[in-house]
Amino acid sequence: MIQVLDKTFEVFIGREEIQKRVDSLAEQINADFNGEEVIFIAVLNGSFMFASDIMKCISLESEISFIKMSSYQGTESSGRVDELIGLNNNLKGKTVVILEDIIDTGITIDKIISLMDDQHPKMVKICSLLYKPDAFKGQHKPDYIGFSIPNAFVVGYGLDYNEKGRNLDAIYQIKI
Ligand code: IMP
Ligand code: MG
C-alpha cells in the first residue's frame, strides 16, 4: 500500500508482469512490421517509461520522437484549439506507431490522430500500455494493448496523480 498526495493506492500490476507484457508487445510489433521502417511517436509525459522499455526490445529499423498535446486559446470564437508540440518528423508516407500510457475515454488519442493525419502518414497504429474499455467512447481503439483494465484510477510507471507517482516502477490502483 502506498500514499500519493491524499490518496491510497495498492499494487495492481507488478514490475515483472509489466516487463513481460512490454517485451511481448515489442515482439508482436517486430513481427507485424518485419522489414519495414517505423516511426514511433511517444506521447509525453505519461509514456516515457513505457516508451523507454519497449524500444529496447524493438529490432526494426526505427526512429522515436516525443510529442505533447496542448491546447491554447484560439483567435476564433470557437475557443480552445488543440496542437501537437514536438512533431518535427515528416510523417508523409511513413508508418507510425503511437506509444501511449493509457487510453481512457479516447478523446486524447482521437485528437492526436486527427492532427497527425494532416501530414498524410501511410499508416498510423496505436500501442497503449493500458486501456479502459468501459470508459472508451472514441473513434480509434488501440491496435496493441498491454493490459485492459477496469475503470479505476491508476498511477505509476509513468502515470501520475496530479503529477506525482510517475516514478513508481509498478502500476498501482486507487483504493476505495
Ligand atoms: P483520455 O480520456 O483517453 O483522453 O485520456 C486522457 C488522459 O487522462 C490520459 O492520457 C492520461 O494522461 C489521463 N488518464 C486517464 N486515466 C488515467 C488514470 O487512471 N491514471 C492516470 N492518468 C489517467
Ligand atoms: Mg497520456
pLDDT in tens, 93-140: 999 999 999 999 999 999 999 999 999 999 999 999 999 999 999 999
53 is annotated as an active-site residue:
no
Using one digit for the tens of pLDDT, what is the confidence trace for 22-81? 999 999 999 999 999 999 999 999 999 999 999 999 999 999 999 998 877 766 666 777
Query: Helix, strand or coil for residue 48?
Result: helix
Contact between residue 114 and residue 138 where contact means Cβ atoms under 8 Å apart: no
Q: How many CB atoms lie within 10 A of CB 123?
A: 13
Q: Which tops the pLDDT comparison, 85 or 27?
A: 27
Pairwise CA distance, residues 171 & 34, whole Å: 31
pLDDT band at 89 (very low <50, low <70, confident <90, very high): confident
Give rounded-to-5 percent helix, strand, coil for the chain: 20, 40, 40
- Average pLDDT, stretch 140-159? 97
Predicted local distance difference test score (pLDDT) of residue 75: 61
pLDDT in the model for residue 78: 63
Q: How many CB atoms lie within 10 A of CB 23?
A: 14
Q: Which residues surround ligand 2, an ion (CB under 5 A)?
A: 46, 101
Task: Give the active site residue among 104, 117, 143, 169.
Answer: 104
Counting ligand 1 atoms within 8 A of each CB, the residue from 44, 104, 149, 176 with the most, and so the one to mutate, is 104
- Which atom of ligand 1 is nearest the CA belonging to 111? 4
| Ligand 1 pocket residues where CB is under 6 Å | 46, 102-108, 153-155, 159-160
pTM of the complete model beyond 0.85 = yes
pLDDT on residue 161? 96
How many angstroms does the Cα of residue 47 sit away from the middle of ligand 2? 7
123-131, strands of its sheet edge to edge: 80-85, 61-73, 37-43, 95-103, 123-131, 144-148
For residues 104 and 137, what is the distance between their CA atoms, to the nearest angstrom? Answer: 8
For residues 125-151, b (16+ Cβ closer than 10 Å) or e, as one string?
bbbbbbbbeebbebebebbbbbbebee
Q: Which ligand has the minimum distance to the alpha carbon of residue 48?
A: 2
The grid coordinates of residue 93 equal: 508516407
What's the CA-to-centroid distance between 61 and ligand 1, angstroms?
Answer: 30
In CATH terms, the fold of domain 16-71+78-148 is Rossmann fold (3.40.50)
